[in-house]
Amino acid sequence: MKRMHVIEVSNKKQMQMFVELPKKLMSGYEHYVPPIWMDERNAYTGKNNPILKNSKFTLLLLLDELDKAIGRCIAYVDNNHNQYYGEKTGFFGAFMCVDNDKAGALLVTAAEKWVKENGMDRIRGPINPVAEEWGFVFQGYRRDPVYMSPWNPSYVHKFFTETGYSKVKDLLVYEADMLDGYEIPDRYTDFIARYMARCPGIQIRRLNLKKIKEDAKAIWEISNIALADNWGYVPLELPVMEDMLKKLRMIVDPDAVWIVEDKGVPVGFCLGFPDINIILKDIDGKLLPFGWVKLITGARKLRDYRLFGLAVHPDWQGKALDALMYINLYQHLKAKNIRMEANYILEDNNHIKNALVKLGMKKIKTYRIYEKKL
């Protein structure tokens, strides 16, 4: 009698099963949000994905006795990561499986085997190289995820804790909700005016959509310098940043993306965007035939936002540019009574954690990343 088994995706039918599995496994969960299916169908290839282009990877499908998909996972070797850190670390992402211990163990073991056969001595994840999603939700299950962040049932953790994995890092989420009474503390109300008077060479401006490639390059350069010491950060290649801004261009709110310049030279950036997951849930991730209209028009009316990134050039760190950008962001969005999430804050980044608390934000969620030596 045939049993559950894992295969590597090798044809169009299997690729379709891999991509569409979330519809089958996750649609019954209240807080699951579908991706943009049009993008998802083409994302798991080196041709269309700038991260996978420089990685060795495989797509794993777990099939039941009737050859129906009941689990999936991408296993990959990020050559840029290993070269940068001098490691032999393999990764997994896009993990999804039915609530069955044997099924989960089969899928986890298959990813480990592939990673080990490709010369790696440890495996880490989930880090999805397609959706920029890091970690499993560990605390905060009763909230929908914001755009480009994960959601999962709680049972997935046992597949890893029971097979020798341990926590390697927690990522935290902080929230500021104006309808819940959030306001910038009074001591910051005239901060921008005082800062500009003290530093006349500093200017702060919106993202220039007409020169988006130039601004993408500026954000890329600052990121690779300012975030170089952050755990898990790998210097981005310019096409990766351009691809990200290209995805966001359709929904960008000019009041949520800011670049700080010192005498005309970019030295910091703040990247926020509307949480279009609210719309994706409504249209079930389908842009055709009319979903794209709802997405474009609806994004302008959203009050939920994500603060995706904020970085300052090392020469300007410790000079309150981060506070300058956050307060500027707040002042330009407060008319919408927004709810803002700041995501992926490293648990041991006390500088950022303390700054967010001082600005009145509250911790609402935790993501967990696991690792295992092979």
The pLDDT tens digits for 109-152 are: 999 999 999 999 999 999 998 877 999 999 999 999 999 999 99
Q: What is the mean pLDDT of residues 315-339?
A: 92
DSSP assignment, residue 146?
P
Q: Would you say residue 237 has pLDDT above 80?
A: yes
Listed residue (59, 58, 65, 52) closest to 20, CA to CA: 59
Dihedral sign, CA of 97, 102, 105, 107?
negative
- Residue pointed to by tokens 């999936």: 72
The per-residue pLDDT for 248 is 79
Count CB atoms within 10 A of the CB of residue 358. 12
Q: Would you say residue 51 has pLDDT above 90?
A: no
How far is Cα 202 from Cα 200, in angstroms, rounded to an integer? Answer: 5
Average pLDDT, the chain: 93
The full set of domain ranges for the chain reads 5-131, 176-365
CA distances from 223 to 179, 204, 216, 253 (A): 32, 17, 10, 21
Portion of the chain with pLDDT greater than 90, in percent: 77
Digit-coded pLDDT (tens) for 82-93: 999 999 999 999
The per-residue pLDDT for 3 is 92
Secondary structure class of 91 (helix, strand, coil)? strand
| DSSP per-residue string spanning 41-61 | HHHSSTTT-TTGGGEEEEEEE
How far is Cα 95 from Cα 92, in angstroms, rounded to an integer? Answer: 7
Secondary structure class of 92 (helix, strand, coil)? strand
| Fold: same for 5-131 and 176-365 | yes
Whether CATH 3.40.630.30 fits 176-365: yes
> Among the CATH numbers 3.30.910.20, 3.50.50.60, 3.40.630.30, 1.10.10.10, which is that of 5-131?
3.40.630.30
Q: Would you say residue 12 has pLDDT above 70?
A: yes
Q: Which residues contact 138 (CB under 8 A, 6 or more apart)?
A: 157, 170, 366, 367, 368
Q: For the whole model, what pTM was predicted? A: 0.94
Count CB atoms within 10 A of the CB of residue 50. 17
Enumerate the H helices of the chain as residue ranges: 12-26, 37-43, 79-85, 101-117, 156-161, 191-198, 212-226, 238-249, 277-283, 291-299, 321-333, 350-358
